[in-house]
Amino acid sequence: MQITILGKSPSWPDAGGACSGYLVETANTKLLVDCGSGVFGKLRERIDYAEIDAIVISHFHGDHCLDLMPYAYALTYSPRWSEENPAPRPKLFVPVGGGEALCNIAATFGP
């Protein structure tokens, strides 16, 4: 198992850094734990975001989940995906009530 710290900044990303985010890799699985501000870009520096099998969000503070929006946009709107080549959909694990919170965020900030 390999754990890569993608971000460790406090409630705001340090210059050139990212908030909470960890890439956990085994021989068969790639897991993203938290996806705070700046983490999606740091993830893309390391691997193809389409390789992520699952995302775990520890709690709904912005520094742990705000980059879910650009991640979702990349999976939805990137020209690399089509009906013939659909985007992967990583499993998403969130705290109780998290599904409703994500729907509210998407309704507020989505296209």
Whether the per-residue pLDDT at 110 is higher than 80: the answer is no
For residue 111, what pLDDT is reported? 64
Residue found by looking up tokens 């790639």 in the block? 30
* pTM of structure: 0.90
Task: Show me where the domains of the chain are located.
Answer: 2-109
Tokens of 98: 């998290």
Closest by Cα among 62, 69, 78, 55 to 103: 69
Whether the per-residue pLDDT at 109 is higher than 80: the answer is no
Task: Judge whether 95 and 57 are in contact, CB under 8 Å.
Answer: yes
Tens digits of residue pLDDT in 87-96: 999 999 999 9
For residue 107, what pLDDT is reported? 80
Tens digits of residue pLDDT in 1-54: 999 999 999 898 899 999 999 999 999 999 999 999 999 999 999 999 999 999
DSSP string, 11-33: SSPPTT--SSEEEEE-SS-EEEE
For residue 98, what pLDDT is reported? 84
CATH class of 2-109: alpha beta
